[in-house]
Structure 1
Amino acid sequence: MKRIIYILLLCLTALTVKAGQDIPVRLGIIGLTHSHVGGVLNDKNKPYVIAGIVEPNKQLAERMSKRFGFSMDIVYPTMQELYDKQHPEAVACFNATYYHQDVVRFFAPKKVHIMVEKPLATSSEQAREMADLAARYQIHLLTNYETTWYGSHEEAAQLIRNGEIGDIRKAIFRDGHTGPVERNTHPEMIPWIKDPVLNGGGAVMDFGCYGANLMTWLMGNQKPVSVVSAFQTIKPDQYEEVEDQATVILTYPKAQCIIEASWNWPINMKTSEIYGKSGYIQIPDKETLLIRTGEKSPVRQLNPAARPAPYDNPYSYFCAVVKGKAQEDPQSTLENNLIVMEILDAARESAKTGKIIYLK
């Protein structure tokens, strides 16, 4: 009889654990002013429930409520009210980059995990404080880039690790589009995306961060020795206080990286070119990769599969990390993104002074 009871208890425990594993993450949404918020609100196969949304602009919240079908009952004007009434396990930020720091200051001491949209912060000073808080309170603080989830980038990295093109000598990253005003981006995003304080700059912050993130990842979190840049404002009638075009050159002991960020591309642009000692890889989009392994070898086109779940969706990935079912992706980590912020700081300083900036 005792043995039967013991077996029943074991079965009950196993069922309880399984049920606990299947409980969706209670996710808070901080802000509705970033155009990427549609990705989380429109996610059909989500391993989370939206516990609440912080948005002080009631008119914006009501408009988004009608569009995405969430109840205004879960919308709160402050982070304190969201936390007091809903106690989220994790939060995702869709507010101006400058305010990421405030979110970390509030939620880190409460042991709530955080994911922000790229870039991590508007400056290295902000980023270091955020990283210190994350370490002190032992939370995950991740940065989401669209390009992290590209199968083509993951395949390219594996080919480079396997020595298919030799050591990296030069990389070129081109990112951007025709401009947030020209594209009629989410109307509440336009005022802050072109604000030198709230966004930290213009095109270099919006799109230069992609190349800095990818190069830092491919170089194993090695910092560049120096950074030099040139900024332009080609459309001052639209972007009065920030650059709409930026070219940034990173120099490493045996490699260079050119980052071309622009709100002046004729089309949406996210392309990468990586040149090694013996070959090269070109990545025109998330599903295509062109590789040539030597001067006499032909160009081969590969069409890598999408990254496997949960690494095929930023919010599924974030929830998996929170639940301990996935590791932090190297491109999302603080180690990588603190270096990204140093690069962006140096790029702005170089554009301002006309000097080469040497990193410590």
Structure 2
Amino acid sequence: MEPSWEHPCAQLKWFSSSIRRPTALAWLNTYRLSFRHLYLVQKLRSELAKRYKVGLVGVAHPHVWGVLRSLRESDKGMLTAASLDKPSSESDSERLRREHGLGKLYGNYREMLDEEDIDIVFNYADHILRTPVTELAASKGLHIMVEKPMAYSLKDAERMLEAAKKNNVKLMVNWPTMWFATYRKVHELVENGKIGRIFHIRMRVGHNSCEEEGFTGSCFQWMGQKEAGGAYLDFCCYGVAFAVWLIGMPKRVFGTAGNFVKSFIPSYDNGIVVMIYDCGTAVVEGTWSQIGGIPAGPEICGTKGTICFDADEAMIFTKLKSEVIRVDPLPQEESNAVEYFLTRIEGDKIIGGMCDPKFSRDVQEVLEAGLISSEKGKVVAMPLGT
């Protein structure tokens, strides 16, 4: 039913709620309205054409290129500015210009945030800049997305969380595993008690991509610094996050991190975290020195069955049978980090799951406990400080 045409607000509400976007655009382009309604048309057109303007800070983590590809394909946002604070290279600049049509590229994130009219910051700076970039962006009222892990220390994670809360902006942590339908399905099965009470989780993540030749100038040059955590933070974070997502925070943590193969890296090329619960454990492994793509998807052991899965499929084993689990594709608005984040901003919705910064702060605490354990050679009680 059409509203009373005597009240402009009623007209705008009817336009925005009753007409689908393509239909509305066609209608506005073909239907003649009186002059007293033109301002409503202009306002509605502006809303329909709304695309969030994104500013990029850094290309330190290689996941940034996949995120930018998703942004380029989205109708909700566009990259309008970038600051290539170190570490970066001329090839990074060329790629941004070629793939995203950017002209001016900043060399200092503060200058970009001061000069550019943007709505969102994709913070892909290194471990030194990630927290100050987040704090400055939040102080300017900008929403922020960062890559996993949330930070490189618990203190930094808490600073970022506080900055977002203080300035009432959204902060999201991109965990790539959130965009695999199998992970979501397995979480649903565990929540519904499909395999009973969980008493053990095992997850190993690794590769052998970090080589001495080409190390300088690569992402590993900064990720391999001692304070950046090396393979320990880069890959153990996945398993820790998954375990916390499924069964919560552990009571105690034991960790070990070392450089066993790649001596040219200042930090760790291997790490293990053992999360100890009242009635179970989770064992998480991360490596930069594993040769070959060894199948090592998560294993979840429950009192009624076991689930094994990877990015493509999942299987459930019980005493009576084993079966492949049917997994439906994720909805478009949750298919990747960009769509999820922009949809949450657009609808002012809560950021949930592993992308919740409060959740990621807890993951950071477990990771830090593991490093403390590795340094001291003993089990660490949780929460830290107890």
| TM-score normalised according to structure 2 size | 0.84
Indicate the SS of the match to 1:178: coil
The DSSP-based 3-state class of the residue aligned with 1:229 is: strand
Distance in 2 of aligned mates of 1:183 and 1:317: 37
**2:62 is the alignment partner of 1:35:** yes
1:129-187 deviation per Cα after TM superposition (whole angstroms, max 9, x unaligned):
11111111111111111111110011111111121100111001111211433796894
The one of 146, 152, 177 equivalent to 2:207 is: 177
* Secondary structure of 1:338 counterpart: helix
After TM superposition, the structure 1 stretch with the greater mean CA deviation from structure 2, 112-121 or 301-310, is 301-310
Distance 2:181 2:113 in 1: 36
Q: Distance in 1 between matches of 2:329 and 2:128?
A: 32
- SS of the equivalent of 1:98 reads coil
Q: How does 1:30-109 map to 2 (within 5 A)?
A: 30-43=57-70, 44-46=72-74, 47-56=76-85, 59-65=90-96, 67-73=98-104, 75-109=105-139
- Deviation of the 1:98 alpha carbon: 3.3
* Residue pair 1:62, 1:72 contacting (<8 A) in 2 also: no
Whether the 8 Å contact between 1:34 and 1:186 is mirrored in structure 2 is: no
Q: Over alpha carbons, which structure has the higher Rg?
A: 2
Matched, 1:339 2:362: yes
- Paired letter, 2:241: N
Contact 2:97 2:103 in 1 (8 A): no
Which piece of structure 1 moves more, 304-313 or 343-352?
A: 304-313
SS at match of 1:286: coil
Distance 1:328 1:302 in 2: 27
User: How big is the alpha-carbon RMSD for the aligned residues of Structure 1 and Structure 2?
Assistant: 2.4
2:324 aligned partner, one-letter code: Q
Structure 1 equivalent of residue 33 of structure 2:
none
Q: Give the corresponding residue for 1:152.
A: 182
CA-CA distance at 1:300 after TM superposition:
0.6
User: Which of 101, 115, 125 is the aligned partner of 2:155?
Assistant: 125
Q: Hey, what's the Cα distance between the residues in 2 that align with 1:359 and 1:28?
A: 38
Instruction: Determine if contact 1:168/1:275 at 8 Å carries over to the other structure.
Output: yes
* C-alpha separation in 2, matches of 1:337 and 1:217: 10
Q: Aligned partners of 2:180 and 2:213: how far apart in 1?
A: 23
- The 1-side partners of 2:115 and 2:97 are apart by 23
Match of 1:203 among 201, 223, 231: 231
Query: Partner of 1:237 in structure 2?
Result: 263
Output the CA distance in 2 between the equivalents of 1:267 and 1:322: 40
Structure 1 residues 177 and 26: CA distance shift in structure 2, 3 A: same
Cα shift at 1:350: 1.0
Residues 219-234 of structure 1 aligned to structure 2 (within 5 Å): 219=247, 222-234=248-260
Report what 1:257 is aligned to: 282
Q: Select the residue among 287, 290, 307 that pairs with 2:312.
A: 287
* CA displacement at 1:273 relative to structure 2: 0.8
Contact kept in structure 1, 2:306 and 2:316, CA below 8 Å: yes
Q: Is the 8 A contact 1:213 1:337 kept in 2?
A: yes
User: Aligned residues: percent identity?
Assistant: 23
Provide the residue aligned with 2:382 in structure 1: 359
Q: Does the 8 Å contact 1:232/1:243 carry over to 2? A: yes
Unaligned runs of 5+ in 1: none
The answer to whether the 8 Å contact 2:81/2:102 transfers is no
8 Å Cα contact 1:35-1:185 kept in structure 2: no
Measured against aligned partners, the alpha-carbon deviations of 1:185-222 in whole angstroms (never above 9, x if no partner) come to 8943121010112x2x1111000111111111112xx3
CA shift at 1:54, angstroms?
A: 0.9
Distance, in Å, in 2 between the alignment partners of 1:270 and 1:182 is 25
Cα displacement string for residues 6-57 of structure 1 (whole angstroms, at most 9, x for unaligned residues): 2676334525457525511111111123211211332342121112001145
**Contact 2:262 2:289 (8 Å CA) reproduced:** no
Alpha-carbon distance in structure 1 between the residues aligned to 2:244 and 2:290: 24
Gap change, CA 1:320 and 1:281, over 3 Å in 2: same
Match among 353, 357, 378 for residue 330 of structure 1: 353
Change (3 A) 1:66 1:27: closer
Q: Which runs of 5+ in 2 are unaligned?
A: 17-42
Query: Matches of 1:142 and 1:270 in 2, distance apart?
Result: 28
Given residue 135 of structure 1, which amino acid in structure 2 is its aligned partner? Answer: K
CA distance in 2, matches of 1:50, 1:4: 40
Q: 1:12 to 1:333 in 2, by over 3 A?
A: closer
Aligned to 2:272: 247
Structure 1 residues 294-349: Cα deviation after superposition (integer angstroms, max 9, x where no partner): 32x21111241232121111011111111126431211112211111111111111
AA of the residue aligned to 1:11: Q
User: Quick one: distance in 2 between partners of 1:226 and 1:161?
Assistant: 23
Contact 1:98 1:121 in 2 (8 A): no
